[in-house]
Homo-oligomer: A and B are copies of this chain.
Amino acid sequence: MIIIPGSSSQELAYRVANKLSVDMARVEFKRFPDNEIYVRVLNEINDDLAVIISTQRDQNNSIIESILLADAIRENVKEIYLVAPYLAYARQDKRFNPGEPISIKALAEIYSNIFDKVITINPHEEHIREFFKIPFVVGDAVPKLAEYVKDKLDNPIVLGPDQGALRFAKVAAEVLETEYDYLEKTRISPTEIKIAPKTLDVNGRDVLIVDDIISTGGTVATAAKMLKEQGAKDIIAACVHPVLIGDALNKLYYSGVKEVVGTNTFVSEVSKVDISDVIIDLLR
């Protein structure tokens, strides 16, 4: 096995290769003057399996880069895996309106022709597996997030920002050996909503809010503010993929969140949790 880093995953690729005690390729990344991507694998490859690790933060560029990397090594390996810890377009998993593409389906078809396996971490919807004609393997980084916050909170309540995120709250609560719930939105007047845990009471309790992705941070910020009003003590907002668009992080801290935590599936200021062990478990 040889690990091939994508340009956005050079540290992550090193960690994975190092922990697995396998080779890591030396890859040159450049841009042509017209901005086309140039990649070159500088060392000779003589392995059965090459694993391209490329977190697709800079989505379209990362996708094209992975395609080019695969072409560069294809003749010298038997199998190529793509490890995309953050899988771009995973949220475009259905036709929400007529005339839209199912973007992740279109990409899954391309990946299925180029790679022999795709490995990712907490994709938004696991049903996207059906679009792949190759094995599609999913890792869960939520236990890592829970371990990271374990000593920072005192007997916390773990909350999913909505019902869909209850499964993440459950996984984190198991690690923290505590209760979990999800946040319910209730309209109390035409202009006012109330956000509170479905069944539990946060008064006097620390809180961990956990989700797969925080994008705009709007829901979590509003929730944090209301939980504070309901008597919550310290609130940590944790997510696997800290996409954190624009002013999301500022919004979260301003709303009373004590700490925002994400993983390095998506490099950001708060990528404090390393997921290389999750990838390693799936490659062993």
Contacts and interface: CB of A to CB of B under 8 A. Distances in A.
Interface in A29-47: 33-45
A199 interface: no
A113 B67 CA distance: 14
A60 interface: yes
Nearest to A216: B33
Which residue among A44, A67, A70, A246 has the maximum number of chain B CB atoms within 10 Å of its CB? Answer: A67
A22 interface: no
A88 interface: yes
Contact of A61 (B60, B68, B91, B99): B60
Contacts of A92: 36, 38
Work out how many copies of this chain go into the complex: 2
Interface stretch (A5-13, A101-109, A187-195): A101-109
A175 interface: no
Interface size class of A (residues with CB under 8 A): 35 or more
Contacts of A61: 60
Contacts of A59: 34-36, 64
A16 interface: no
A105 B71 contact: yes
A224 to B, nearest CB: 20
Which residue among A44, A59, A61, A97 has the maximum number of chain B CB atoms within 10 Å of its CB? Answer: A59
A36 B67 contact: no
A69 interface: yes
Contact of A245 (B34, B71, B72, B216): B34
A89 interface: yes
A266 to B, nearest CB: 9
Contact of A103 (B36, B99, B246): B36
18 contacts: A34-B59, A34-B245, A35-B59, A36-B59, A36-B89, A36-B103, A39-B100, A40-B100, A43-B99, A45-B99, A59-B64, A60-B64, A67-B106, A69-B101, A71-B102, A72-B100, A109-B113, A113-B113
Top 8 A-B pairs, shortest CB-CB distance: A71-B101, A71-B106, A41-B99, A72-B101, A68-B101, A33-B245, A60-B64, A60-B60
